[in-house]
Each structure stands twice: as C-alpha cells, then as structure tokens.
A and B are shown apart, each in its own frame.
Chain A
C-alpha cells in the first residue's frame, strides 16, 4: 500500500531490510557537485510564496531540496551494490480557509512552481469543506536569511568509492578470519541540502549530513547458527566517524568494547567473529527475574520505543491511530503533574541540538529554531513533543521545533526529536554499575524489538548477553529477551553511569505516517541498571 520504491537488501539476517530510495540514480562524482545557488533558491521560493498568497493562502512555506544518498553493500568478499541517488524539487505547504494544503514538483521552472503553489491552495480549499478543526499555528517571527551546516570534518560524499569499498572488504575479512561464516556490511550516507522559506519572513539554508555503517555477521556451528550485528552508531557526522580513534572506545571488563564519537568498524568486525564462536557455545539463559544492566547501544532503542514514541503529541491525540496506534501517556496524566513515568533518578529530555546527533539541525522543517526541553523530570511526566499547529492543545505558545519531512515531495509533520537519558552527576563507569549487581544480566546491542499499540507491553532482545554474579561478569549467555511494561520498567531504574560513559545511538530509519515517511533520530544514555525485570528464553525446539 506504499507508493515508495523500496529495495530489499536480502540475506542480511534482518528479515529483509526495506530501504526507501527516492529520486534518480547518479554517479559518485555528481554527489559532490555544487549545491544550488542560494540567491536562485530564494528567487524560486519567493515565486512559490507569492503565487500561494495570490491564490488565497493566509500562510505558505516552501522547501527546495536536493537530497543525496549513497548506499554501498558488501557481502563476504564481494561488493554487491553501489547506488547513488539524487532527488531535486520543491514542496509547497499552505493554509487556506483554515486548512492545510500541500503540493510538490520536481519541475523547478517558474511556471511549474507557480502552478504547484496554486494546486496546494486548491487542495486546501477542497479539503476545507470537510474541515472541523481550523489550523491554529503558534506564532513565529521570521529570521531573515540564515544558513547552517552539520559540523562535519570530512564530507563522506567526497570520499572515493574505492576507499569505502576497501574499508568494507577489510571489515568483512576481519569477521571472516575470526569466526564468522557470513557477513554483510553496509555504508549508508545521506546529505540533505534544504532551503526553507515562509511568509513569516524566513529564508533558511541548511546542509545536513549523516551516516550509518552497520554489519550483520553469521556464525554456523554444530547446533545451528547465530547472528551478531555491528555496534557502531548512526551519527550526524562526516566520514571522520569511521576513523577508529581509540580514545573514543569504552571497554567493559570481561565483555565488549563500546564506541562514542569514533568507530573502529574493523575491530568491531573482528570481535564479532570471535563473539559469534562464543555465542554458539554459550549457555542458554535460565528464564526468571534479573537485575538488568543495559549498555547504551541497546538502551537507546528501549528509550526510542517506550519514551520517544508515546510522547509524540499527535500520537497521544489519535492522529496515528490507524498506523502505529495511540499512547498510554494521555493528557490527564501530564496535567496531574504527578505521573511517575520513571523513578526519581530518571530524567529524559528532547532536543535537536546535541552536536553530532542525527536530529541536530539549526531550524526544523517549518522554520522553528531548535532547542532542548524536558520530557520527564525527576521521574515526573512534564511535557510532550509538539509542533506549531499542535502546541496550543497543551496550552503552550511556542513550537518545540521538531517538524520534519523526509523529502521535498512529502509534507512535513511532527517527528521524534533526539530523546536522551541524562547521565549520573557522579561520573560512574559501566564497570561500577556492574560491580554491585548480585544476580543480573548485562545486555549489549539492539536485537528484536516489539511493543504494543499504546506503548505499554514491550519485549526486547540484544546482540550480546553476559551473566553477572556478585558484581562480576562470569560468562557469555544466549537466548535472552526481556519483557516489561513501560511505567513499571522506568520505575525500576535504580542507577546509571556518568558523563564519560554516555554514548549516543539512534535509528536511521524511524517510520511514521500514512503514506509512511522515514526519519533519523538519536538517543543518548549511559549504562543503566533496572531491577527485577522478567527475562524469557527465546530458544525453542521445533519439529
């Protein structure tokens, strides 16, 4: 039911990852061609805004986008895909008769832009016949002409294909030479060059970069096979993320190496090979209640599913009911001012300003300056995530700045900002957290993830599992998943590590909306302990 073109990357062990590929395929050299001239973009944007207001719009914004993607995949010792895509166009959003309208075109001629603006107004007017709730926009002052770029050191798009292929081959060989039988490694590179203009008087030019370098390795043994995914994070950085700076590595005694702002993919692949052999021999977990110590590469997804999504205001209000559902975090709970989302040490905040994160931009896709705000403070639910046309519903008069569209050809709407867990003021390490657990399990990396349509009941797996006995990691174990309910889970949070352990993971392909749109979002957290959580055994005998 989805109109987007998807390419299925098979054999990765993730059940067929579906990646949206917008636009046209181009050469690698064309990825680094000069962006559109700003004066030209302003001229075209003004044509859109003026045409819209002439046709009767009371508000209009235009996004001129050049969206570039490069995907390189390598399976074992061969390169299976090198794909470069480019998508150019303009998306025009208007309010007419108190109703939203949207139209977009890849044809950037003056005539086409004017016609598209008029079409957006026509859509708004047609829909206004059925409109029962007129749009109520939070006020916003225009910012004039501004520009911003993701503070990258090395533009990933400028790195030669050969260098990237060499890296993926080195990664694959490291895994295959150390215990893996199969491996698929991937480089996803994204560059959004977007220009936003509005009738509020803003002309915002932004150049956004992000990348993700996952791998999926499989080990075969006498009992069967096991999988281990890479522990790198998707980041709002350039190719410098892949430099492998040892200063950005965190070693947890007897367990894994984690990565902060620099990733050594080759080292991680070598460890993956070794750990796969260990996984094949590891003892299967005894189900029961355990104290869990969750590493940031794992916990980030639990935060995403159990905090990020339920606090999207449009979800709470029912706008996503026909897709991913609604939310247990209803307005009455927030209004009470006493809803214990988590224990007293839990502080969860939203932002689109943390440097090097996927959500980091200067202005969102409706021209609002980005910021940081609290969602859960000292365990109490204090706010949601809302944009200009929603924030009045919670009695606030300024958008939080988290509006986004995946492309010029899609309409912008509320998307999850970065959502992070504040570290301990005391700079404890991951080893410190493990050291006072009597009977627990340390979980590393993201595995299976499933949560219900109101975000109560969830079940999560991981990549690596270690048994903890009397403060020490005793052995690697297998087949672990934990099942809990959101409020119960966050209220069983008893301790977390400090700033030095804080790491930022994220999701490169979060989905929302119908037709669905993709968005990238980061989650920072330290290694954190949760007590008395139900652990199940995911292995079963069949046939």
Chain B
C-alpha cells in the first residue's frame, strides 16, 4: 500500500512514536504512486510506474540528532528504525543550533488531491502521448515529450502532539516539437493537480505553432531589447530571486539583501543587517505564497510542522518578509518565517510563488508593443554574481521579433546576461498569470533586457 489515508497514517505513526526512548522523536511518512511516459522521434521510448513509501524517524538526545529511514512496516522493522535512529543520535556530535520539536498546530484546509489524477492508467498515458505525436506527424514535425503524474501523501508526527497530513496529486507535461529539417522548434509546459485540466493535444498545438513559426529564423544583433517573457521564461529567475532571499545569508553579509555600512563608515551597533522594509523593485511587483491558493495548492505546514499561512515576500516593490530558520529567528530576535514543506516528492521541491499580474493577455501585450522580442522559455540558467544576482542563460524553442504590435518573424536564439533585480525594476507591463511548475507567474514586458551574444542552436 503506497497511499495512506489520514487515519492510517495517524495509526502507524502513533505506533512508531510509542517505541521511542529518546528525549525527542519526530517521524515523517511520505508515499507516492507515480507513472511516466517519455517519447521522442514520434514514438514512445520509455514508460514506467513506481510506488514507494518511506518512514523517517528522527531521534534526539539533548542536542544530538540521528535520522534513520525504512520502507518496511512490520512490527520488527518499525522497532528497528526507531532504535537505529537512537543509536545514530547517541553517536552524533552536538549541534549548537539544535531547536526542540514543536507542538500541535491547527492547519488551513487545502484541496490538493483530485480523483482524475489518481485514476491515470498506462493506457491513459499512451493516449496522451499519441495525442501529441499524431498531430505532429500530420504536420510533418517530430515530437518528443514527457508526462509524469503522481498521487502522494505526507504526514508528520512527534512526541509533543504534533500531527500534520496532506494528500495531493500532480501531473506535469512537456513537449518539444521540431521541424524535420531541424530549423524550427517549439515547446510547451503544463502542470496541474487535477489532470482533467490537461489536454495534451491542445498543449501540443501551441508547440506545433511555435515549431512551424520558428523555422528559418533570422539573425538580430545582440544588445538591449524590450522583451515579452511568457511565464515559463521568467519563472526560474523569479524562483532564483526568492532562493537568495534568506535572512541568514543577508545578515551574514553574503547576499544581495545584505545591508552594509557605507564605504569608510564604521558599523553601528544595532543597525539593520539586511534590507527588510526597503523598496527594491517597481511598485507593481507583489510576490507572495499562499498554501490555500486553489490553482497551485501547497502544504499548509513547514517541514518542522509549523503552520504556514499566506506570506507576502514583496509588497509593491518592498521586501516585506525573508525566509529564515527557527534558530536564526531566535538568535536575531525576529519572528520565524516558515515556508511550505515540499519534500517527499510532493511538488518537485519548488517553492510555490504567486506573483501578481494584470488583466492583459499575452496577445494584448504583443499588440501594445512597438518593437520587442517574444521569449517562450529560458534555458541553462546559471548564476554569475551572487551579489547582484546576475545570471546567464539562453532563449529556446520559440523566439520572435515583434514590430508594430505583430509577430514579424522568428529570430535566432540569444544568450542573456541579466539580473531579476534589474528586470523587476524595468517593468513595462504585467499581464495575466499562468501556472508554471507549481507557481503563478504573469506575462512580463521588460525593457533593456541584455542579450549578450547569438546562438546558432535551434
């Protein structure tokens, strides 16, 4: 059995906790049933199904912690994993940053599970692949793609009375569709909790249009351009920005949110060490997380079981919250700012972010653009400078030149060197949001985006 109901998880974990002899004991039970299908060259290449349940037991003696896991659930195995974790805890060095387990919390109700996704069969996956391959073939194109669906649950319980549980489902689909002569390529991505919202034929039609539309691209000079980014293009940069917003790194002087005395000045006792409360972006930028968001629900609890509600990270361009650990919050005398639990293969490890947008559709924003570049996605993004969050990467699978409100012709891909900090200060327009990798990101029109060199890659 891979999926435990709330009641079943509670019963199992209660039994495990009852074996504990340590000062503290906290357990995680994570399970999933997943399936996937991959295709390339207009044919299915691999397909598989995996089911897995893992129990992790963390025992503490004072400030010493040991973790052991197991995937067998008979009585003897449950006792064994508890003893193992206790043995490892006794051998572990003391962790000066150890924080005691938390107690019970009330959690918001989150609807993250859908029957349709749980019901997906290998035949459904094959049909979904065929719905992408067939129209590609009809258009003399070559389809490749990947569909991955999962039903998962996560539960946490400890000796202090905490118990958290979430059941969820997810489906992810991507397709790359290319012309036979290799001069055109288009890509699409869709992810949902409810697989009845996924139509791989419809999604593939987007990639097909981009593929045919991107053939025989023209060269344009590298330089600074007004860029319209589809949500898939900016999502990773926004995620990277958030990933660098931790309070501790800022306080320690090693992030873009560090606050240092001016050159030549002495540090003042009690002066702020980070940029919380400062306006760093355009006032149209508001980014928050909310586990109960119906389009991209996430766990209403953190990895340590603390409840997680709506948290506003950036409000009208001002940094209003920075994620931290309980230890660092205590040390610096501020509130703990937890983030939603994404472990156990639940949501692929990405932190859910919701960025507010506007009312305009992508097409309307294009119509409003005198001269610009439309970007489908950005690829191989790597950090160049952690202080300024300068990143490099490339455009891919559908890059187009816009003139006088219309897509004029496809252009060759570019390498970019730019920073999400600069981007979010150079906003021309924000449009409608789309879900991408568990977050809600709007269409963005950004001026002076730096394309530094050309790529011949299609």
B390 close to chain A: CB less than 8 A:
yes
Inter-chain CA distance A249–B203, complex, in Å, is 55
Question: A461 interface residue, CB < 8 Å from B?
Answer: yes
Q: Give Cα distance in the complex from A317 to B148, angstroms.
A: 23
Is there contact, CB below 8 Å, between B379 and A78? no
Residues of chain A lying within 8 A (CB to CB) of residue B244: 15
Q: Which of B130-165 contact A (CB under 8 A)?
A: 130, 142, 144-146, 148, 150
Interface size on B, residues (CB 8 A): 101
Given contacts A130-B43, A319-B45, contact A181 B253 (CB under 8 A): yes
Is A3 in contact with B146, judged by CB distance below 8 angstroms?
A: no
**Please, which residues of chain B bring their CB within 8 A of the CB of A36?**
none
State whether A457 touches B415 (Cβ < 8 A): yes
The answer to whether B91 touches A161, judged by C-beta atoms less than 8 angstroms apart, is yes
Q: Is B54 an interface residue (CB 8 A)?
A: yes
The answer to whether B93 and A165 touch across the interface, beta carbons within 8 angstroms, is yes
Q: Which of A6, A182, A543 contacts B254 (CB 8 A)?
A: A182
A102 with B175: in contact, given A26-B68, A456-B457, A538-B384 (CB under 8 Å)?
no
In the complex, chain A residues whose CB is within 8 Å of the CB of B41: 133, 317-319
Q: Which of A28, A227, A483 touches B386 (beta carbons < 8 Å)?
A: A227
B32 touches A224 (CB 8 A): no
Interface bits B370-385 vs A (CB < 8 Å: 1, else 0): 0000000001111111
**Complexed CA–CA distance, A13 and B386 (Å):** 8
Q: Contacts A79-B93, A133-B43, A322-B174 given: A3-B34 contact, CB under 8 Å?
A: yes
Please give, as numbers and ranges, the residues of chain A lying within 8 Å of B422 by CB-CB distance.
Answer: 542
Q: How far is the CA of A306 from the CA of B207 in the complex (A)?
A: 27
Contacts A322-B40, A481-B384; is A1 near B172 (CB within 8 Å)? yes
Decide yes or no whether A25 CB sits under 8 A from chain B. yes
Decide: A8 near B349, CB < 8 A? Known: A318-B40, A452-B455. Answer: yes
A133 to B381, CA, bound (A): 35
Q: How far is the CB of A364 from chain B (nearest CB, A)?
A: 18
Are B348's CB and A2's CB within 8 A?
yes
Residue from B126, B248, B397 in contact with A130 in the complex, judged by beta carbons closer than 8 Å: B126
Give A329 Cβ to nearest chain B Cβ, in Å: 12
A-B contact count (CB 8 A): 237
A132 vs B52: C-alpha distance when bound (angstroms): 32
B170 smallest CB distance to A (angstroms): 8
**A227 vs B390: C-alpha distance when bound (angstroms):** 15
Q: Is A225 an interface residue (CB 8 A)?
A: yes
Which residues 280-296 in A have Cβ within 8 Å of B in the complex? none
B394 near A455 with CB under 8 A, answer no
Q: Which of B254, B379, B437 contacts A453 (CB 8 A)?
A: B379
A63 to chain B: closest CB distance in Å?
15
Q: Judge whether B453 is part of the interface by a CB distance below 8 angstroms.
A: yes
Q: How far does the Cβ of B263 sit from chain A's closest Cβ, in whole Å?
A: 6
B83-106 interface mask toward A, CB cutoff 8 Å, 1 = contact, 0 = none?
A: 010011001110111000000000
Task: Kindly list chain A residues whose C-beta atoms are within 8 Å of the C-beta of B405.
Answer: none
Tell yes or no: A106 within 8 A of B by CB.
yes
Q: B130 contacts A450, CB within 8 Å?
A: no
Contacts of B42 in A (CB 8 A): 132
Contact with B along A475-506 (1 / 0, CB 8 A): 00001010101000000000000000000000
| Chain A residues with CB below 8 A from B36, complex form | 3, 514-515
Decide if B252 touches A182 in the complex (CB within 8 Å): yes
Whether A321 is near chain B, meaning CB under 8 Å from some CB there, is yes
Tell me, in angstroms, the Cα distance from A193 to B83 when the chains sit together. 26
Interface check B196, CB cutoff 8 A: no
Given contacts A2-B348, A322-B40, A542-B419, contact A448 B392 (CB under 8 A): yes
Supply 12 further A-B pairs (C-beta < 8 A) apart from A450-B415, A451-B380, A453-B397: A25-B56, A28-B91, A82-B88, A85-B69, A103-B48, A182-B254, A322-B144, A322-B145, A328-B456, A514-B36, A540-B385, A542-B421
User: Nearest 4 pairs between A and B by C-beta?
Assistant: A457-B455, A454-B457, A1-B172, A452-B457
A-B contact pairs, 15 of them (CB 8 A): A2-B345, A24-B54, A27-B68, A28-B91, A123-B47, A123-B122, A130-B130, A220-B252, A225-B254, A227-B386, A319-B41, A321-B185, A453-B380, A481-B384, A542-B422
